[in-house]
Amino acid sequence: MLLVLAKSYSVCRTLELESSDPWPDEVDGVRGNQNLQGTEENCQGLHFPDLGFMTDRMRYQRKTIQGLLFLLFLWTFQRMYHFSTKKLQRMYQCWSENTQTEELKLSDWFFPNAINHSNITTTSWAAPVVWHGTYDEVVLENYYANHKITVGLTVFAVGRYIDHYLHTFIASADKYFMVDQKVIIYILTDNFSKVPWVQLSPLRTLKVFEIKQEKRWQDISMMRMKTISEHVVDHIKYEVDFLFCMDVDQIFVKKYGLETLGESVGQLHAHWYKASLTELPYERSQLSEAYIPIGDNEYQMETAVIDCIGFILAVDYASFSRYCALTERTCGHLIKKNLEKIDYCRDQETEEPQLSDWFNPKKRPDVITTTNWLAPVIWEGTYNRPVLEKYYKRLNITIGLAIICVPGKFSNQSLTEFIQSANKHFMFGYNVIFYILLDGFSTMPSIVLGPLRTFKLFLLVKSGIEKDFYFTYMMNLFNYIISHIQYEVNFLFVMNADQIFKDDFGVETLGKSVAQLSAWWYFKDGDTFPYERRSKSAAFIPFEEGDFYYHSAIFGGTVEEVLKLIEEYQKGVIQDIENQLSSIYEHHLNKYLFIKKPTKLLSPEYNWDPSFRTPPQIKCVKIAWQSKNI
């Protein structure tokens, strides 16, 4: 673009110089009109140009060229950045509506004079002490609404504390902690099997870290902070913006909201708040790293509530007050300065890559890569994942994975192996929530998850059709999508647990409506497809009709499309019952996808049966069926 403008400017200057002088014979600053100097007779018959006319013409040419240059600039800018007029208008409107100061001022939301002056509301280092009545909750909610924050809450529960306190703590935190904000509850425990499972509200998920057992209180105390610091480095710092560490032997009784967020937050000790400096039980041994002289520091801090982001390097309780005394302001409440500034308007206008930008069907001439309704069929070698990664990373998407675990002898083993493999290969590098629907939480296996992965448990409520597990599952999933999932994820996949991820299952699979081609039937003639052939069934597909045979082990898409599929499936089952028929779930799935064509199809590479002889068309198996004899 700069080269084009430079050349255009050069042309402009040349034209300007040529047209700037009405005398054509100027050489070296001397006009070539010496021959006019002489007798008056020599001047007769000569035509002198109209200087006023030539000046106007020169100005017109200059303005015309400047206008053309400006148009050229706009055209080049549009070609480079693809900014349409409507898009620029939308971005300007978005910017006008969402522009705000970099940091919320303390005086905008905190009012220290609003309560009785007998309570301390500001420290000597000008940090606010938050009391009920001193803050404006609405102002804080409006501020944080545009930052899409996630708040973490770690709770440490070992030994008898698991049985006595953990369930009550989680249930109360689910109700009162950071209402309407995304929350991840991190449970650190030495016995996974004893963790009491709680069905969480929308925007809440869980992550469990299992730690080794210790007997001495001092060892447990040291291990607590050491373990939290390790998980902050490995996991938590990638998942949340703020993090609180709390003791398990307490209960939330009122809303614990945004007024508590800060760069580093300390909890004043209820018992010692009114005590004099000499009475505070600081560490008085000069040999200790936690030593504070008598008369120093101002408050005794309670370790039951700590903002761990500001205090992650301190590794034992006695050090906490010492840490606060040395860093002063960090024990107050400050609006977090290092909140990532989300380029909200840019993300709103991020354009999805065209199919031709990332999908090349000519790379696989040996297979069907495009349907007759122009939907891509994803095979190894046909997609350019980095192009899609660049797009989806900017959107900061979350993908949900609902797991169908049919009750049976090996269901726990299948679920464990499925989640372990999904943790490694499913949407690596993206926020993922595993939704596990079980008929009882007592059978929940141990789950160890990596960074950006959390899980959520839902209880299966029995339906009126007792023998049809899939109907019961889909009915429950439909209800949980309505009440929870739609607020938490951008895309949702539903998969059977009796399969194992073998390779990366990435963003090339994302789409509005995604269907899985059956490995059993892909290489066979369409007339042999096992569609429902009874004409009275809602799943009926006549002979000589149908496109592909889809496997029920995997389907997905946007939350809205998954909801529509489940809703139609439920209607079909009810219609069949009224006609005294019963058709399997996979038949209803195929009927729906025959009517409502999927926008993306996954090749058999994404769901292969290893008991088959692998044909040359299968280049890379993404998911393999589990053996029935595990």
Known binding-site positions for Mn(2+): 498
Q: Which ranges constitute the DSSP H helices of 552-604?
A: 559-578, 585-595
How far apart CA 610 and CA 624 sit, in angstroms, is 6
How far apart CA 462 and CA 454 sit, in angstroms, is 26
- Helix/strand/coil for 242: strand
Two tokens, residue 87 = 């898009």
How far apart CA 172 and CA 153 sit, in angstroms, is 13
Give whole-number Cα distances, 565 to 291, 375, 483, 541, in Å. 64, 18, 17, 17
How far apart CA 197 and CA 403 sit, in angstroms, is 17
Q: How many angstroms from the chain centroid is the CA of residue 78?
A: 30
DSSP class of 498: S
Annotation marks residue 16 as catalytic:
no
What separation, in Å, do the N-terminal and C-terminal C-alpha atoms of the chain show?
63
CB atoms near residue 109 (< 10 Å): 21
Q: Please enumerate, by residue number, every residue annotated as part of a binding site for UDP-N-acetyl-alpha-D-galactosamine.
A: 410
Q: Please enumerate, by residue number, every residue annotated as part of a binding site.
A: 410, 498, 586, 609
What dihedral angle (degrees, nearest 10) is formed by the CA atoms of 302, 307, 308, 309?
Answer: -150
Q: Of the listed 380, 561, 586, 605, which one is catalytic?
A: 586
Two tokens, residue 331 = 């024990």
Beta bridge partners of 187: 155, 208
How far apart CA 552 and CA 547 sit, in angstroms, is 15
Catalytic residues: 586
